[in-house]
Amino acid sequence: MTHDHSDRLGGIALSVVRIVVSFMFMLHGVAALFGVLGAPYAVPLFAWPSWWAGIIQFVGGGLVLLGLFTRPAALVCSGAMAYAYFSVHQPRGLLPIQNAGVPAALYAWFFLLIAALGAGPFALDALLRRVPHTPEHAARSD
């Protein structure tokens, strides 16, 4: 019984961390794309890589926040942050604390963890798994 309780608590913790981290990540995309939340301007349309990073942050962060297509969305978000770290931050210094890359590194690892573990119980992915996919259910919805 203790093991079942800790599994359930772990799933709840995973969902809460997924929601909080993806919300903060999504705010970066909102700031970049719309020039709000302290951003001095909106990134120009299709500007490489800033606009594309903003799209990944906004759309990918939103999908992970909702827990919809969580694993692939989290993997894309993780890859985008790894790219940002190695292309922008790492050339400035060896360690994340030296090159201002701590947020990018943390986001990359958090999203990799979410991609590996899944969304947790409070996610649209979990809800969609519970919907019956039987032929008679499909016939009734037509």
Confidence of residue 135 (pLDDT cuts 50, 70, 90): low
pLDDT at 142 (0 to 100): 44
Q: What is the DSSP letter of 100?
A: T
pLDDT at 3 (0 to 100): 66
Here the tokens at position 40 are 């001095």
The three state secondary structure string of 34-81 is HCCCCCCCCCCCCCCCHHHHHHHHHHHHHHHHHCCCHHHHHHHHHHHH
Q: What is the pLDDT of residues 81-118, one digit of tens each?
A: 999 999 999 999 999 999 999 999 999 999 999 999 99
Confidence of residue 130 (pLDDT cuts 50, 70, 90): confident
Q: What burial class does residue 80 get, using C-beta atoms within 10 Å of its C-beta: 0-12 exposed, 13-18 middle, 19+ buried?
A: buried
